[in-house]
Amino acid sequence: MMRKLITILLTAALIGSTTLAASAAQIDTAETSAQVDAAIVAADYAEVGGTLEPEETLPTAYNSAEHGYTTPVRQQQYNTCWAYSSTAALESFFLKNNRQAFHLSTMHMNYWGTARNNGKGWQRTYSDAGYPYVAMGYLTSFGCIDNTLFDESKTVEDFHAASNLYPYQAADSVIYLDGDDPDTIKTAIYQYGGVIGNFHYNGSYLKRDAYYCDLPGLTTAQLNGHAIEIVGWDDNYEVGNFVSGHQPSSPGAWVCKNSWGASWGDNGYFRISYEDLYLFDSRFGPSYSISSASPIDANTKIQQNESFGATYEFDYIQQARPNQSKMTYANVFDFSDGYHNIDKVVFESTSEGSKYSVYYMPVDANGAPVVTPDQWTLLAQGTIEHQGYTSAKVYGFDAPKTKGAIGVTIEKNGKTDIEIGVDEWLTVGGKYLFKPESEYGQSYLIGYSASAMDIMTFYQTKLDDTVGGTFVIKALCTNDEKVGDVDRDGEFTVMDITLTQRYFAHLRQLNEEQLRFADIDNNGTVEILDTTQMQRRLAHTG
């Protein structure tokens, strides 16, 4: 079998090969196994990202900050620019879409992106550099929380103890962008508030608040990656603003929000030339925007079999059977906990332009999805409009309160692909970079063989891989009963908070059912913290 060309996270099919490449991503060059001190680790990522068409004529200059679509500049802790830039972009998205914006916790994301107590997950410590996919995995698999709930003073021990923190919202649509197309970046900023981008930083190329690096030929190991939120542009930004002797040939620059404090640059902002050699370099991973997010609370749950997001594309079918026109990927979930009202199905794929159909599938006696389409229920269908995370809206489907599967069929549309995201192991320099929590009975291939094939079996029998992976298919589900609805009128309002406060003041008794619904964090005891969580949740959804 042929090993894939040096890639780390998302990858395309090996050109000219119809054999299966080795499983997952392995970095085996001397350059990328060298010590890297950058805050964004550069590696030989596969180049991904699509283009966007502007809905109207774009202005020659635009700045989201001038329209109130940015939050105050912050001072990053450790090597966490990747966390600060991604939360800044999500904050901009909220403001752009008239939602209440908060300072989102970056430290919670940072600790989340470290190895779990079971040894699985991202094999980094909280002070290490990060990767774009850590942030995307966090925002789509967990969500985001208010910084007041988990600020920079918190420790990793606090993180492991804070199991009852509910996220505010979770990203359900993420667009990988083509950094070689300026109009695509501008359109994303104009529509969503900001773009997460990465570049090589060297202070020698900075003149107060203007940056342009023209040093060619830097190897991957020489790149000093830094992530920022790009919030605007100026087509007429003069070349004379840049360092003498290192000036671009033409005017124009991106407006960037940094995370080095408001005293740096232009009140924490700076400009980087359109011609910078390393901005949007694919070795830093994709540039992306968050284009949709959904509220998460005690009445909402993300049904998912992985909690890290995509680290790779499952392109093995494409390699082995290049003429196969479609494939169905399915995840089995247990809906018996009451979270069975399916609102959205989210999946990751770089097969832009391909058709997709989302189904509910019953499972057989062995717990595998049934393979007969007549027994499936169509939930949504459409075209994968962008590379990244796609959110498919489902209207009015209640899954049976038992085990069932959510399947995504991806079908070629011309020369498009049939790939889906998967969280697979990653290695660098012979050491694990990421370890999945994959198990048998979670993800299945339908259409590869006569029966549904567990992908753990596929990995082991086809790729000699016992670590495997899990498909990135998530179902955003709600509960029949509203947690927090203390007065049991079917709605969660300020009256429910008042009732709970009166209970603590010994002015009102609550019966057993009411106490159960007042127990927001579901720890078996109604406490003052439950009231605080109620207030924050009502503020978030109000």
Q: Which of 252, 224, 191, 188 is nearest to 49 (CA)?
A: 188
CATH 2.60.120 residue window(s) in the chain:
298-479
pTM of the model: 0.86
Q: Which of 462, 426, 471, 417 is nearest to 444 (CA)?
A: 471
pLDDT value at residue 98: 84
Q: Which of 319, 434, 469 is nearest to 1 (CA)?
A: 319
Higher pLDDT, residue 189 or 538: 189
% residues pLDDT > 70 (the chain): 89
Mean pLDDT of the chain: 88
pLDDT, tens digit, for every residue of 438-476?
Answer: 999 999 999 999 999 999 999 999 999 999 999 999 999
Higher pLDDT, residue 50 or 458: 458
DSSP state of 384: -
pLDDT value at residue 31: 31
Compute and round to an integer the Cα radius of gyration of the chain: 24
Asked if the model's pLDDT at residue 33 lies above 50, the reply is no
pLDDT band at 40 (very low <50, low <70, confident <90, very high): low
pLDDT band at 487 (very low <50, low <70, confident <90, very high): confident
User: How large is the average pLDDT for residues 373-394?
Assistant: 98
CATH 3.90.70.10 residue window(s) in the chain:
61-290
Asked if the model's pLDDT at residue 253 lies above 90, the reply is yes
pLDDT value at residue 45: 55
Q: Are 60 and 236 in contact (CB under 8 A)?
A: yes
- The alpha-helical segments, DSSP class H, found in 432-487 are 455-463
CATH architecture of 61-290: Alpha-Beta Complex (3.90)
SS3 content of the chain, % helix, strand, coil (to 5): 20, 30, 50
User: How large is the average pLDDT for residues 243-269?
Assistant: 98
Asked if the model's pLDDT at residue 409 lies above 70, the reply is yes
Residues 6+ apart with CB under 8 A from 496: 484, 485, 486, 487, 517, 518, 534
Q: Are 351 and 329 in contact (CB under 8 A)?
A: no
Higher pLDDT, residue 445 or 430: 445
Give the pairing type, strands 431-435 and 339-349: unpaired
Q: Are 478 and 300 in contact (CB under 8 A)?
A: yes
pLDDT band at 537 (very low <50, low <70, confident <90, very high): low
What H or E segment, with its residue span, contains residue 512? Answer: helix 512-518
Beta-strand runs (E) in 203-299: 206-207, 210-211, 225-234, 253-257, 269-273, 287-295
pLDDT band at 42 (very low <50, low <70, confident <90, very high): low
User: How large is the average pLDDT for residues 290-310?
Assistant: 93
Tokens of 85: 């830039």
Give the pairing type, strands 443-446 and 169-177: unpaired
Topology of domain 298-479, per CATH? Jelly Rolls (2.60.120)
Asked if the model's pLDDT at residue 108 lies above 90, the reply is yes
pLDDT value at residue 328: 98
Return d(Cα 320, Cα 318) in angstroms, integer: 6
